[in-house]
Structure 1
Amino acid sequence: MSQPQKYLSTSALAKELKLQAKDLFGTLQEKGFIDRDNDNWVLTDKGKEIGGILKTHPQHGTYIAWEENIKNELTATLEENKLINATALSQHF
């Protein structure tokens, strides 16, 4: 029997990928998984196809969550598009 899939909020996913949340939101938007509707992020059909869902938290309201295994796909994409920032540059030197 398989274990239930673990879901992560976009912010928690960014933390696990060692990214700024705004950068991950931008990447997900560029890939067409999420979009902006006024001041809110909305999940697109493409985002649903790759395992995105809407969850509701009593204090934080509704948010987008992702199957934990999306990390593999995003890591490959992020490596291809990686630009060096000041933090990465300072860590390198």
Structure 2
Amino acid sequence: MFEGGQSMPSVQQVSIVGVFADRLAESPGAVAVVCGDVSLTYGELDARAGRLARVLVECGVGVESRVGLLLERSVDVVVAMLAVVRAGGVYVP
């Protein structure tokens, strides 16, 4: 119990897609991910992940779908992870 007999406040559930959307709205031109000499802004990451998410949905990815990811370390890993989650699936590294 907290002071005054108050109970602990409830924790809100937050999704990575929601956190990303908030950051995108605040600063679409800010750098979101960097790997070596390649970087993507939040706007660029959003566009690339959105395109891939649409393809994944067209291929049948949805709730409870598992999508395996096998990629070299690059910004594409982040794009793919975000796209899978947006499509409703879960990624398996």
Where on the TM-score scale, by shorter chain, does this alignment land: which range?
under 0.3
TM-score by length of 2: 0.21
Q: Which protein is richer in strand relative to its size? A: 1
TM-score where L is the length of structure 1: 0.21
**Pair member with larger Rg:** 2
